[in-house]
A and B are shown apart, each in its own frame.
Chain A
Amino acid sequence: MPAVSAFLVPGSPLPLLRGDEPPYRPLRRALDEVAGRLADSRPDVLLVYSTRWIAVLDALWQTRPRLDGVHVDEVWHDLGDLPHDLRVDTDLAHACVAATNAMGLRAKGVDFEAFPVDTGAVVANALLNAGERPIPLVIAANNIYHDGPTTERLGALALSQAEHQGKRAAALAIGGLSTEFHRAEIDLSDDHISDPAKDELNRRLFDLLAGGDTDAIRAFLPEFSDRARGDQHMKHLWWLLGASGGVQGATLQAYGPDYGSGAAVMEFTTVSEQAVETPRPGATAVAPGANRGAPVWQAAMRPGRRRAAARSWSRPSP
């Protein structure tokens, strides 16, 4: 069964903390509308991937039942605190850890008090999931050594495990588009996409997503990432392709700046249920056209086999 709904939202805190500024009003309005659309789809669980939760060791899944506290953004600390109280579907998260290990990718659950939940997840939860009965989350980390197809497989794995547990899932991709920030101080009320060429690339991406041709989307995402300095190689969209069960179109709800870089709110139309193979219990659901059987990409881990294209996401911790 495909996801009951699927969305792309920005990881920036600006629409939450400064949603009244003209450049962010359309994004904020769209986020408020999407919150209703998400609730209307009546999911049991929200499958979340935020580009800003960076990992370098293993595939990480949040397994702490409650992630509460006060987060302060690394950049926009002057605009206010971000109190949060995220609820995690720990049964499903543990199943995802086990299934990821079974798929041949080492995985771990993350269960630590005061773990620094990233701004994207905190903001998205505050804007989309602040009702009296919050939708439990499953949150996967962005391991910088996972490529797009691997991330798509993780998303598909999460969807498959949700179905295995009889849960209706919604898919949420949290992240940006082009990432060219302003390098000089601007007033937030004057914010705009900093580079017309990147603006053009963002719009080309919207057209492709709206068209719903997943092979064309997959083919364009690496080019977009290179030319637009796409946020974290746009792996949040790869996640969405997997966690949605496949998409056949999308509606752009809003597009705007995030201090010069690009941000959008999109709602996706998932493939019709009949079009999706019924996965075997425990197997990974793969949408039509997904690159089934693609090996988990870990070439960057082996000396001398690092892809040239991996340069920009190859400088992690410790």
Chain B
Amino acid sequence: MPDGVIAGFLAPHAPHFLYGENPPQNEARSRGGWEVIRWAYEAARADLERLRPDVLVVHSPHWITPVGHHVLAVPHLRGKSVDPIFPNLFRYHYDITVDAQLAEAIVEEAGAHGLLARAMRNPAFRVDYGTIVTLHMLRPDWDLPVVGLSSHSWPYWDGPTPDEEIREVDVLGKATRAAIERLGRRAVVLASNSLSHRHFSEEPDPPDDMSQEHHYNDLGYRWDVRMIELLRAGRTREVFELMPEFTREALPETKSGSVTWMFSAMDYPEVPGKLYGYGAAIGTGNAVMGFDLTDSIVAGR
């Protein structure tokens, strides 16, 4: 099988999914919940296993770095990550092996591509929940080295504008691919993003009361379905043509750039995406999808 970027997954990171799993690493306990997404991740895990990657590379919107693009580059990161938004759901003890050589190569390539990029080499750094939830849901054994990239867009600011950010993460994706190819890694790239992102402002009590879970509004749901249909059909170019309108109307989390980065790292393939599942988390729309560049998933169907 070839080296390089071999696949990508759209892998959203609401802490609710991990909370619903009750893994031993998480202090918070649930009665389950969000099963449709969790079953989707189960199927995605099996396909990821078949791909036999060397490394998982994830771009997270919850490591927010308004100055530059940052890359986790400490060989071993251990600690406790408490979600500042949902501390009641996510208090996770992590133990992460990082492909620091690849991380440094991505920083070098990003710099060579004209971006402001930095390696994060501080072992006391707290890893964000976007990175952790996506990685845990796809690979709960944590037996593959990973690389984590920050989001340059501070979502609550007007700047950088979506256009500016798309240009930046497009270049970051190219730099990521160049580093992966230079080192000959078999890498899977992960976009830690939900789709439509309007959400409730009050939490159900208890938080895992699934009778309270639904899509925030019809507009967001319909936009998500439209984008998912295009992705399933491999109509990647149309997805990105629609992205500005999608961003305006559905306020998707993709605004932070993870999906654009992932597709850029894959060189915008027109391959049919495999939908594992779609559902709501506190009102947001979440699709788990895979994009196989090796045909191995297709062969396994």
Q: Do residues A179 and B66 form an inter-chain contact, with CB atoms below 8 A?
A: yes
Q: Do residues B124 and A312 form an inter-chain contact, with CB atoms below 8 A?
A: no
The residue that A78 contacts in the complex, of B63, B118, B200, B256, with Cβ under 8 A, is B118
Q: Closest Cβ of chain A: how far from B210's Cβ, in Å?
A: 16
Number of interface residues of A (CB under 8 A): 47
Q: Tell me whether B186 is interfacial, beta carbon within 8 Å.
A: no
With A54-B84, A56-B85, A110-B87 already in contact, the answer to whether A74 and B255 are too (CB < 8 A) is no
Q: Which of A182-190, A236-244, A276-284 contacts B (4 or more CB under 8 A)?
A: A182-190
Q: Closest Cβ of chain B: how far from A114's Cβ, in Å?
A: 5
Q: Do residues B85 and A54 form an inter-chain contact, with CB atoms below 8 A?
A: yes
Cβ contacts under 8 Å, B66 to chain A: 75, 179, 181
Cβ contacts under 8 Å, B256 to chain A: 315
Q: Do residues A184 and B85 form an inter-chain contact, with CB atoms below 8 A?
A: no
Cβ contacts under 8 Å, A318 to chain B: 13-16, 85-86, 194, 199, 281-282, 284
Q: Do residues B63 and A74 form an inter-chain contact, with CB atoms below 8 A?
A: yes
The residue that B124 contacts in the complex, of A58, A72, A314, A316, with Cβ under 8 A, is A72
CB-nearest residue of chain B relative to A304? B217
Cβ contacts under 8 Å, A81 to chain B: 122, 124
The residue that A259 contacts in the complex, of B67, B154, B197, B200, with Cβ under 8 A, is B67
Give A167 to B254 CA distance when docked, in angstroms. 46
The residue that B203 contacts in the complex, of A57, A144, A298, with Cβ under 8 A, is A57
CB-nearest residue of chain B relative to A260? B67
Cβ contacts under 8 Å, B85 to chain A: 54-57, 316-318
Q: Do residues A57 and B201 form an inter-chain contact, with CB atoms below 8 A?
A: yes
Within 8 A of B (CB), among A38-82: 53-58, 70-72, 74-75, 77-78, 81
Interchain Cβ contacts within 8 Å, total number: 128
Q: Do residues B124 and A70 form an inter-chain contact, with CB atoms below 8 A?
A: yes
The residue that A116 contacts in the complex, of B126, B155, B202, with Cβ under 8 A, is B126
Q: Tell me whether B212 is interfacial, beta carbon within 8 Å.
A: no
Within 8 A of A (CB), among B128-178: 150, 154-159
Cβ contacts under 8 Å, A77 to chain B: 70, 120-122, 125
Q: Do residues A56 and B199 form an inter-chain contact, with CB atoms below 8 A?
A: yes
Cβ contacts under 8 Å, B230 to chain A: none
Give A316 to B255 CA distance when docked, in angstroms. 11
Within 8 A of B (CB), among A268-315: 298, 300-301, 303, 311-315
Give A167 to B183 CA distance when docked, in angstroms. 62
Cβ contacts under 8 Å, B282 to chain A: 318
Interface flags for B104-125 (1: CB within 8 Å of A; 0: not) read 0000000000001010111011
Q: Tell me whether B82 is interfacial, beta carbon within 8 Å.
A: yes
Interface flags for B15-45 (1: CB within 8 Å of A; 0: not) read 1100000000000000000000000000000
Q: Do residues B156 and A72 form an inter-chain contact, with CB atoms below 8 A?
A: no
With A179-B159, A312-B158 already in contact, the answer to whether A317 and B217 are too (CB < 8 A) is no
Cβ contacts under 8 Å, A55 to chain B: 84-85
Q: Do residues A75 and B159 form an inter-chain contact, with CB atoms below 8 A?
A: no
Q: Do residues B65 and A314 form an inter-chain contact, with CB atoms below 8 A?
A: no
Within 8 A of A (CB), among B180-221: 194, 197-203, 216-217, 219
Q: Tell me whether A106 is interfacial, beta carbon within 8 Å.
A: yes
Cβ contacts under 8 Å, A298 to chain B: 201
With A81-B124, A312-B157, A316-B85 already in contact, the answer to whether A75 and B203 are too (CB < 8 A) is no
Q: Do residues B82 and A115 form an inter-chain contact, with CB atoms below 8 A?
A: yes
Q: Do residues B91 and A315 form an inter-chain contact, with CB atoms below 8 A?
A: no
Cβ contacts under 8 Å, B15 to chain A: 318
The residue that B125 contacts in the complex, of A72, A312, A315, with Cβ under 8 A, is A72
Give A31 to B201 CA distance when docked, in angstroms. 36
Q: Tell me whether A229 is interfacial, beta carbon within 8 Å.
A: yes
Give A226 to B67 CA distance when docked, in angstroms. 20
Give A72 to B65 CA distance when docked, in angstroms. 13
CB-nearest residue of chain B relative to A313? B156
Q: Tell me whether A145 is interfacial, beta carbon within 8 Å.
A: yes
Known: A57-B203, A115-B84, A317-B86. 12 other contacts (CB 8 A): A58-B201, A77-B125, A112-B87, A113-B82, A116-B126, A144-B156, A181-B67, A184-B116, A303-B198, A315-B255, A317-B62, A318-B16
Provide a sorted-by-A list of 30 A–B residue pairs whose CB atoms are within 8 angstroms. A56-B85, A57-B85, A70-B124, A74-B63, A74-B150, A75-B70, A77-B121, A77-B125, A112-B88, A113-B91, A114-B91, A116-B81, A145-B201, A179-B154, A179-B159, A182-B67, A182-B116, A185-B68, A185-B116, A229-B159, A298-B201, A311-B158, A312-B157, A314-B251, A315-B253, A316-B155, A316-B197, A316-B199, A317-B199, A318-B284
- Considering the complex of A and B, which 6 residue pairs feature the smallest CB-CB distances, nearest first? A318-B14, A315-B155, A317-B85, A77-B122, A312-B158, A301-B201
